[in-house]
Amino acid sequence: MSPDVTEPAPQESVPRRLCVVGLGNPGPRYAATRHNIGFLVIDRLADMLHVRESSFHVNHHLADVVYHDWKVYLCKPWTYMNLSGEAVAVLMDRQGLRPGELLVVYDEVQLPLGHIRLRRRGSDGGHNGLASVLAHTGTTDVPRLRCGVDFSSGSADLVDYVLSPFPEEEISHADAMIDRAAKAVLAVIDDGFDKAMNTYNTPPTKLQE
């Protein structure tokens, strides 16, 4: 007679998580400005993932969706840019997120318009929104996606430049970059971070633009 064997209870698989945090400024005054690229990428991702509703939590808007076997959060901090880290801190505490489960999306004046860069970690590079996020997470090991808005000419005040909308001749290029950035986020999930970097950290082709 064989001894009784208790089969272990099957464990539910825990989906992997990615929280995409788009940086920007709240309100219609800033909606279409270069500094709000992060918000615009979140909106494009919401369209791609068929997300129609979000909810407000303390100081940020948040939506979530299951994509493949991932739980994907889409977040817009509803603080001003320089206080973005306050919203991220609340978000991480409420959702139990780790810094490595974030992907922060923001504008980058040191990249040409249309170019994007994925990085796993690094300094804030002079971006006040990212600086706030790094200060509140207490680490520079925060994945990020930089979206180029090109300040190479230096012909205008930097603050006025990033808080201005794209001129008409740049709108189509900006829209293509927003689309490419959203696809890069999905590629992080589909293909892994390293492959997504290899694919999207290269300059866009004319066809992609």
The one catalytic residue among 35, 60, 61, 127 = 35
Is 35 considered catalytic here? yes
Provide the pairing of β-strand 70-77 with 16-22. Answer: parallel
The neighbouring-strand residues paired with 55 are: 62
Cβ 98 vs Cβ 138: under 8 Å: no
Among 84, 149, 141, 81, which Cα is nearest to 115's?
149
Max CA distance (Å), the chain: 88
Q: Which amino acid is at 127?
A: H
Q: For residue 6, give every residue at least 6 positions away whose Cβ sits within 8 Å of its Cβ, in sequence order, or none.
A: none
The residues carrying an active-site annotation are 35
